Structure formats: C-alpha cells, structure tokens
Amino acid sequence: MMRIGGIFALCAFIIDRLSKWWFIDVFDLTAKGTVKILPIFDVVMVWNRGVSFGFLSAESDLGRWLLVVLNLIIVAILTYWLRSARKIIIAGAIGLVIGGAFGNIYDRVKFGAVADFFQFHWENWYFAVFNVADSFIFVGAVLLIFNSTFGGDAGKKTKEE
C-alpha cells in the first residue's frame, strides 16, 4: 500500500505544481487580478501566509518556518499511518493528503506563502480562496471520513463490546 499511497501523493504534488506554474508563470494571474470565469466562480491571486483559509496567519519568517515544520510533522504521521493501510481507498486518500501537503509546503518554502487562486462566491458572499493542493487534501480527508463511517469495518462490534 505504500507504493499506491506514494503514487497518489506524487500525482497530487505534480498536478498541484503544474497548476500553480500555469496560473503564476504562464497565465500571469498576479498581473491580471480577478478573472471572472462563471457567475459564481473567479480566479484571483492570493498569497496565503496562514494555515487553512488564512487561519493562524504567519507573517514573520519564524511563523513561516514553524508552519513548515508542523506540516512536515503531519506528513510524517500520515506516512506512518500509510504504512499500516490495508485498503487501496485508505492508501490513496492518505496519499492525496500527503501530496497536497507537500504542494503547500513547497510554496511556503519557495515563496514564503501558499499560492491560492480558486474562489467561489454568491452575490456579495465570498468564500475562501483555495488551490489544487487544498482540493486534494479535502478529497483525501473526505475519503478517510467516508471509509471510517461506511467502510467495511464501520459498525462492527469488537470483542470487548
């Protein structure tokens, strides 16, 4: 399962890096500002210095590197969990989270902040800006929750009960 998780992680990382390269270097989103795509969806360049959705903003270099270390610790824990995975869905989900985390770690190390650009909105309500790595992390987490709730082992009684 380590190999499967690794493949998912590598694919997620590569797709995230390609999307950020395209939006930043090819499309030059920084110069374009906000680009309307659909009535409820824009692309806009935002440099996120915090954790998720700008929470716990780390403006200083110390904060930046503390977030890098925290993310690496989380990746190490996920890798340990991946080693014990027995199902493809678990290995793939953990791999997506790891790959997405590495995509955001790369940004934080290289740029000092994470590049975000997708934004949904409804009239004057704007939702958090996110990127492809965040999407992989979200999908991986949802798959892990789904499996723990509805997977083959969910609901089975243990011998202790």
Catalytic residue IDs? 116, 134
Nearest CA among 160, 28, 7 for reference residue 98? 7
Beta strands of the chain (E only): which ranges?
35-38, 41-48, 114-122, 125-126
End-to-end Cα distance, the chain: 30
Give alpha helix (H) positions in 38-131: 61-83, 88-111
Nearest CA among 61, 64, 33 for reference residue 46? 33
The angle formed by the CA atoms of residues 42, 136 and 36, to the nearest 5 degrees, is 5
Burial of residue 16 (CB within 10 Å: 0-12, 13-18, 19+) is: buried
